[in-house]
Amino acid sequence: MSVTANKVVMKKATREAFGDEIVELGKKNKNIYVVDIDIGKSCKTTAFSQQLPNQHVNVGIAEQNGAGLAAGLATTGKIPFVSTYAVFGSLRMAEQIRQEICYPNLNVKIACSHGGLTPANDGGSHQSIEDMGVLRTIPNMTVIMGADYHSTRKLVAQAAEIYGPVYLRFTRDTVPFIYDENEEFTIGKAKQIQDGTDIAIIANGDTVYLALEAAKQLEQEGISVKLLDMHTIKPLDRDAVVECLNIGKIITVEDHNILNGLGSAVCEVVAEEGKGLVRRIGVQDKFGESAPYEKLLEMNGITIENIVKTAKEMLK
At residue 2, what are phi and psi to the nearest 5 degrees?
Answer: -135, 165
Which residue in 21, 63, 100, 254 is the catalytic one?
63
Contacts 24+ apart (CB under 8 A), 51-54: 51/23, 51/26, 51/27, 52/23, 52/26, 52/27
Q: Is 272 a catalytic residue?
A: no
- Give the three-class secondary structure for 272: helix
Enumerate residues 6+ apart whose C-beta is below 8 A from 11. 1, 2, 174, 175, 176, 177
DSSP code per residue over 173-212: S-EE--S-TT---BTTB-EEEE--SSEEEEE-GGGHHHHH
How many whole angstroms separate alpha carbon 239 and alpha carbon 38? 41
Name the residues annotated as catalytic.
63
